[in-house]
Structure 1
Amino acid sequence: MHIAGCRLWTVYATYGGGHSVVLLWAWLADNFKPYFYDLICALVALIGVCIIFYAPQTIH
């Protein structure tokens, strides 16, 4: 999907990666203790962000 010169899936990936950053911030700044599965989900989200960001950028 191509809207006004931006790739929508890249914006979506950034949004998902932002949630992982919020989890890290809560852990470091607010002394929140995440569950093991919180960390696994954040890792999966960041891997997805990397896949989307570094995928070949071809627009048909």
Structure 2
Amino acid sequence: MLRGLRIIAENKIGVLRDLTTIIAEEGGNITFAQTFLIKHGEHAGKALIYFEIEGGDYSKMLK
């Protein structure tokens, strides 16, 4: 089953690595990834990260 996951995170070195490691450790296969820097609003300066993930234990990825 393909699932979408959207995350708002701090914009710092290692965040993308940490997230992809968690997904892989829980058996997920990332089929699509996209990142943006949020420029306006309450989350300005943070990163918006979107993944499409196939397989794995989705509930454990969200912890």
Confirm or deny a common fold (TM above 0.5). no
Work out which of the two has the higher radius of gyration on C-alpha atoms and give 1 or 2.
Answer: 1
Normalised to the residue count of structure 2, the TM-score between the two structures is 0.29
Higher helix share: 1
